[in-house]
Structure 1
């Protein structure tokens, strides 16, 4: 590697990390948030990943099976293979977790993930364009896209995508090597170069699988679609060259699945049943969202807030991922119009349109109106991919936008089919290419509210700090924490104690059937009275072997009074200690009282 190229690579990495710190780390730098008691993002979902980081650390220290835990939903335990437990990412972050703890490790990794995605996209684009600034620009478009910014508010597993550009980069290099070989019959699987390609691709597949099963399935799905398009656009070249690359890919998948067979086994015997199924139509891109920003965007976010709320009935901003903005849409149109005669660009165009259409889901939505069925509708019953949520397909659309942006800004080369080292040519549309690009990133930029407030302060009670809990809870004792499950931060508290206790609750997906069958569980969630409440409470506590109830009073007065009244049925006076109410469950709970 030349010194100049090395300097460019390091410069790109530094630039992306600096941008990531501006977008995500200001609350921590300004000390509005603490690395150990706050977390990047909102809601409860991030506690799943913090818990996963601590869980993998616990498994390494105690030689435990990482795919099944007895630390939640005790005494039944929980199969993690159907959850969003980011096992692979937690494994890679182990040194950081050992050194600074799970919460701080999560925060640093979450801040860096968009920068890593930008950087790996830069590596891909640097190979394509042979030019620094266009590649730097394209890398930004991918790593700090609407998709990445929105998912950074809650979903680490969906932000763990830095391997996607690297896998494309590896396949592109091998495709070019195959095209330069005159007689492909001379290529053998035993050759070192072929083995290395298959091995590297398999390793990346394994880690992407362990980062996010959803992203792995989406990558496989759209990868297959791209090869179909490539065959349709250039069948002769596909048969002669690309088909051999496809053989390598299949070999890598087989190798990866063999290595992943323990995970797949646990998924088949239990994890699959715990996968949460959402209606694809509820998590699809709204057609207006391609032009209208969400509230997370600086330009027009608040102005269009009333309209963007109609994009889905839940008003989940983190799935309003389709916003590309007028400048970049204009750039895309210009690029394809000028270069559509090139076969590889034609394939890229058809792939881009396919991703966009599929991201719209099974039904076209414009604002709050459902218009008509769409081509994705048959796929909502296809195994594995049926659990994917269409709005998240925009990840792959933004990778295409990044490639197009880099090619558009690279104006001193010709496009070739052998290598996409290309340019959009010289456009005389009244706007300079870089002005159009900077307008594009300005349209995508996050709002000041997003930058300053995309974090959650847990206000962790002192009870869970400095070993105070050990005075009341024995090691590996099963306890019940209120707020319950997805209503509260029980996973965060458990991780903060180093998995000291077990819980008769959890949140890494849906409530398991063996817990939801207890009527009292619904009272825990909804703070509502049910018939025979004392009997149901005793029945639950007896069956689960719960020894202690901890109430963290971080809800309104009515709910607080309900829970104090509910657990007052234990005929035990609660102790208020270091920010929590503590109930000792009587040793002999009569389950039929």
Structure 2
């Protein structure tokens, strides 16, 4: 990558020279354009999450499903582990007594540990909102910094590229409940460090830097790292086609640096990764089924945008997985940009990356407007490979973002240069179409609702009269569909464990990954009673199984809060334990300590 390496080295030398010649006061003074970019990105992130910030502690991102509750629980448990000097990689506070492998659940220790003081002082809701805000703005700022220092001469062009990377529809969608797909601010520096290794100038220093960045990204999110690594590999391969000799030489020079980076990253993350893949409660790959993007998802507009509305993203898996939704004006602009800039190797590589990652995101077969054509696609050939088999293929569309942003940054830079050369028509056409492409995608504030308050039984601490050294079992048990018990537990400072929960863990004889616990018969019985609205037939064998399950959970108390078909559930539990429920502070309670 001669062009990139030369640019990086020239910039590094220029920075070094200017540092030694400029007075300290001048060096510390930021460029006004940089300040403006940072203020804009932070302000836009705060705008997107304005309703959540307005209702801290009571607000809930309505499109997050149960994900916000889960992430707040992760942040709370991480903070608790620091205070109590416990192993942060695992917890039995849910899915008691088996517990949860937190390293296998993307608990984001790179955020939850540094922000633990915030969690302890203000609560996990504040940490969750802060992580999303810093994730959006930080990702945009990071890409702006790399673009402005190493790719384009215009800071405005860099700001366009950084804005797309940080506030693309996919990131806004994931802001509803997936901070690990929002806090992507290390990825541009990882890419830059890889490019620097190709120069061979400072293999030890650059290798150490890359190793530290990779290790930290592992604790922020492994799946984004995998997706963007694949995208960068595609970009590098496409660029190498234009400069094969230079690419081969750069690859040869980078061997030492890569060895240092890999060794350092492995040394730092070895124990957590072992715990994730081989430790307690670890699991094999999780199966999602076919979840590729529909082709119309690329031309449509996202829900939370100026051009979007409820139902506009009809081809997404759910509200947090609008991974494509570039909109047809932006797709047209990207295509025209690739043609206009085709002589530039960077532009050709970027266009190839958008195409390849976009095709991979379509899944195993081509789907158009909801119609599966049956035409096989490349993802079918590699979907079974280790690590890749657990990825939601629609998320590969996120790998298009840096390449698309690079095309926009290069195009804007060239358009502005055309104005300086007197070709104002070109500049006006570019700026006009850029506005047409990006304004419809401008994000709108995410929808927030008031979360329900916990029953007095939990909120007032009445539970303490019923819990000794066992667990609380709610009826039905907490699940990915209803995880409110995790929030009630968190509000009580995680003072008691619960059976069931919302996490990813092993299930079945092969320990395949599953959302939620490996359900025991009584848990399935209660879930069936709630969904059917009918009391199931209960015989002596069913009662014996219930006692076995309660003993397994080491249950101290069964708690039935107000829920759908709660009368049916009350009658079911009453038959299972052979005793009527007791109404206590807004819930129905069965003290089962004598049984277990």
1:244-301 deviations in Å (ceiling 9; x for gaps): 235423431232122211122222324552653212x22x111111112243333153
CA contact 1:84–1:509 (8 Å) conserved in 2: no
TM-score normalised according to structure 2 size: 0.85
Matched, 1:17 2:42: yes
Residue of structure 2 equivalent to 1:521: 523
CA–CA separation in structure 1 for the residues paired with 2:44 and 2:523: 44
Q: What is the CA distance between 1:466 and its match in structure 2?
A: 5.3
Post-superposition Cα deviations, 1:148-203, rounded to whole Å, max 9, x if no partner, equal 0111122222222121122223334555xx2xxxxx6xx5xxxxx43332222222
**Kindly tell me: are residues 11 and 465 of structure 1, through their superposed partners in 2, closer, same or farther at Cα, counting changes over 3 Å?**
farther
Alignment-derived partner of residue 264 in structure 1: 273
Structure 1 unpaired stretches of 5+ = 179-183, 188-192, 416-422
- Partner of 1:190 in structure 2? none
From the superposition, tell whether residues 468 and 244 of structure 1 become closer, same or farther in structure 2 (CA, over 3 Å): farther
1:564 aligns with 2:570: yes
Q: Matched residue of 2:439: which SS?
A: helix
**Superposition pairs for residues 158-557 of structure 1, below 5 Å?**
158-173=181-196, 175=198, 178=199, 187=201, 193-245=202-254, 247-270=256-279, 272-273=282-283, 275-279=285-289, 281-282=290-291, 284-302=292-310, 305=312, 308-309=313-314, 311=315, 315-371=317-373, 372-411=375-414, 428=425, 432-446=429-443, 451=445, 453-454=447-448, 457-465=451-459, 467-474=461-468, 477-483=470-476, 484-486=478-480, 487-510=482-505, 512-513=507-508, 516=518, 518-526=520-528, 527=530, 529=536, 531-532=538-539, 533-553=542-562, 555-556=563-564
Distance 1:136 1:485, change over 3 A: same
Q: What is the CA-CA distance between 1:40 and the residue it aligns to?
A: 7.2
Distance 1:445 1:455, change over 3 A: farther
Cα separation, 1, equivalents of 2:168 and 2:230: 21
* 8 Å CA contact retained: 2:70, 2:483: no
Which residue does the alignment assign to 1:151? 174
Q: Which moved more, 1:33-42 or 1:129-138?
A: 33-42
- Per the TM alignment, residue 354 of structure 1 is displaced from its structure 2 partner at its CA by 1.0
* Distance of 2:421 and 2:175 partners within structure 1: 32
CA distance in 2 between counterparts of 1:353 and 1:383 reads: 24
Secondary structure at 1:516 match in 2: coil
Superposition CA RMSD, Å? 2.9
Q: SS of the counterpart of 1:364?
A: strand
Shift of 1:27: 4.5
User: How many aligned positions are there?
Assistant: 551
Give the whole-Å Cα distance in 1 for the aligned partners of 2:106 and 2:338.
37
In 1, Cα distance between the equivalents of 2:295 and 2:416? Answer: 35
| 2: CA distance, partners of 1:112 / 1:140 | 14
Match of 1:579 in 2: 586
Conserved? CA contact 2:58–2:450, under 8 Å? no
| Distance in structure 1 (CA, Å) of the matches to 2:62 and 2:407 | 31
Please, which runs of 5 or more residues in structure 2 have no aligned partner? 1-18, 20-26, 510-516
**Do residues 133 (structure 1) and 141 (structure 2) align?**
no
Looking at structure 1, the residues matched to 76 and 259 of structure 2 have their Cα atoms a distance apart, in angstroms, of: 34
For residues 396 and 355 of structure 1, the distance between their equivalents in structure 2, rounded to whole angstroms, comes to 6
Cα displacement string for residues 520-579 of structure 1 (whole angstroms, at most 9, x for unaligned residues): 1212333253654433322210222111122221x33xx211221122233444343443
Residues 464-499 of structure 1: CA distance to partner in whole angstroms, max 9, x if unpaired?
33544334334x531112342222312222222222
8 Å contact kept, 1:118–1:144: yes
Is structure 2 residue 150 aligned with structure 1 residue 142? no
Q: Distance in 2 between matches of 1:247 and 1:388?
A: 30
Q: Secondary structure at the match of 2:555?
A: coil
Q: Distance between the aligned counterparts of 2:381 and 2:213, measured in 1?
A: 30
Deviation of 1:209 after TM superposition, in Å, equals 1.2
Q: CA 1:135/1:344 → structure 2, altered by over 3 Å: closer, same or farther?
A: closer
After alignment, is 344-353 or 219-228 more displaced? 219-228
User: CA 1:588 to 1:578, structure 2 compared with 1: closer, same or farther past 3 Å?
Assistant: closer
**1:588 corresponds to 2:589:** no
Partner of 2:95: 73
Structure 1 residues 300, 216: closer, same or farther in 2, change over 3 A?
Answer: closer
Q: Is the 8 A contact 2:144 2:162 kept in 1?
A: yes
Q: Match of 1:106?
A: 128
Structure 2: distance between partners of 1:249 and 1:398: 25
